[in-house]
Amino acid sequence: MAVPTSSTRPTVASRHDRAKPLKTSVIFDVGRVLYDWGPRILYERLIDDDRALDAFLRDVVTIDWHFQHDAGRDFADTSAELAALHPQHADLIAVWGPRFNESIGPAIAGMHELVRDLDAADVPLFAITNFSHEFWPPFRARESAMFDRFRDIVVSGDEKMVKPDPAIYRLALDRFGVRADETVFVDDNPANIAAARALEIESVLFTDAASFRSRLVELGLPIAATGETPPR
């Protein structure tokens, strides 16, 4: 990946990128792109023993179990089912919903600044997130400084469809009013990236803010290659 040599002027896009329509908007994932996230972040505060913690996250509160919330199921139902299977862990299971915000860490380094710079450059910002319809509103309220910069956000739990289902991308493009070939999508999950690319959406597998910023500059987005705001 070529890194721009100027911190104040975007580089010229590659010949391959110039052949594509100009990218005019960005669609973000949320968890592990904008913010760190994982059940361990919460439960390591509640379970002192490392082996017990590993076993609990492997066998009880698993990513697959939580994925039901992203798909639109209510926590009251999923927690009752899981507690019936693991009654010895009922108290720990019960905190997942009320304390879900504690499973979300701080903003990924450099991402708040990137969102700020894109917004300052009048680049329309959107998101597609696999997120519970119950857990999203309090998190959105907590992080209003970030999400107030976004024009619209598709939440999987509200729509009862999840990435990488192509239907959620089609719904998002229609709702956002953007064409697949005129936007950039970023996600940390290779399956989600593959699904977006199958719909001809320019997609970037997220690794870190600096690399993503550089790719946006290559694609012609009007931001600096560093966190400095370019002159207009």
Q: Give the model confidence (pLDDT) of 47-56 as tens digits.
A: 999 999 999 9
**For the residues 154-165, what does the mean pLDDT come to?**
99
**For the residues 46-69, what does the mean pLDDT come to?**
99
* C-alpha 66, offset from chain centre: 16
* pLDDT at residue 231 in the model: 46
- Indicate the average pLDDT of the chain: 92
**For the residues 151-167, what does the mean pLDDT come to?**
99
d(CA 197, CA 81): 36
Q: In terms of pTM, does the model score above 0.75?
A: yes
**Residue 171 tokens, joined:** 């719904």
Q: Which of 12-26, 73-87, 137-151, 172-186 has the lowest mean pLDDT?
A: 12-26
Q: What are phi and psi of 214, to 5 degrees?
A: -60, -40
* pLDDT at residue 228 in the model: 55
DSSP the chain: -PPPS-SSSPPPPPHHHHTSPPP-EEEE--BTTTEEE-HHHHHTTT---HHHHHHHHHHTS-HHHHHHHHTT--HHHHHHHHHHH-GGGHHHHHTTTTTGGGGEEEEPTTHHHHHHHHHHTT--EEEEE---TTTHHHHHHHTHHHHTT-SEEEEHHHHT--TT-HHHHHHHHHHHT--GGGEEEEES-HHHHHHHHHTT-EEEE-S-HHHHHHHHHHTT-SS-SSSSPPP-
**7 pLDDT exceeds 70?**
no
* Contact by Cβ (8 Å): 205, 215: no
Specify the CATH superfamily of domain 15-34+108-218: HAD superfamily/HAD-like (3.40.50.1000)
**For the residues 201-223, what does the mean pLDDT come to?**
98
d(CA 107, CA 125): 17
